[in-house]
Amino acid sequence: MAMRETTWKIQSLATTDLGVWKHWRSGLGGKRVVATNGCFDLLHVGHVKLLEFARSRGDLLIVGLNSDSSVRQLKGEGHPINTAMDRAVVLAALEAVDVVVIFDTVRATGFLELAKPHVWIKGGDYTMATLDPNEVVAVKLCKGQIELFPAVAGYSTTWLAQQAAQQVTRAYTPA
């Protein structure tokens, strides 16, 4: 079976022609645009459920993806584990995802201003009080709604990375 090419679904906020993007966005007619964003470093069940939920809230799902440098700023040295392009390709391969936009800033404000979502979905590790105020304003200015998706218990990238490190340590520690 031939592999389906999905890289056409991947954009970079740094190199996207804003005129082309605005033209594409205006051509969506009455379609309900949903956006979510994050690092998505080690994709797990919690991420997939979030993305499927987000897609169910509209007609088109745009995923904002933190670049490698912004992930390092957020998570520290040693992150990300996967490159932005690798993370974008994995996300783009998911049926729920229509477009992936890589952005270089720590906050998704610019991405949200570009996407102009009808609905912005954030994962359960956030509350309305802990959302970045500038991101909230970007969504509210385009009359978008904000919804929180409850965390899926037992799944986090940090937990997965720790488990993998422990497995490696056990495997290579002399008895």
- What's the whole-model pTM score? 0.86
Do the beta carbons of residue 49 and residue 36 sit within 8 Å? no
Tell me: the pLDDT tens digits for 5-34? 677 788 888 877 666 777 677 777 889 999
Mean pLDDT, all residues of the chain? 87
Name the residue among 100, 97, 92 with its Cα closest to residue 56: 97
User: Residue 84 is encoded by which pair of tokens?
Assistant: 């932005």
Do the beta carbons of residue 61 and residue 51 sit within 8 Å? yes
Do the beta carbons of residue 101 and residue 64 sit within 8 Å? yes
pLDDT confidence of residue 137? 98
pLDDT confidence of residue 71? 96
User: Residue 128 is encoded by which pair of tokens?
Assistant: 């309305």
DSSP secondary-structure letter at 7?
G
Name the residue among 156, 126, 123 with its Cα closest to residue 53: 123
Q: pLDDT grade, residue 157 (50/70/90)?
A: low
Do the beta carbons of residue 111 and residue 103 sit within 8 Å? yes
Residue 119 reports pLDDT greater than 70: yes
Tell me: the pLDDT tens digits for 57-84? 999 999 999 999 999 999 998 889 999 9
Structural domains of the chain, ranges and CATH numbers in brackets: 7-11+31-172 (3.40.50.620)
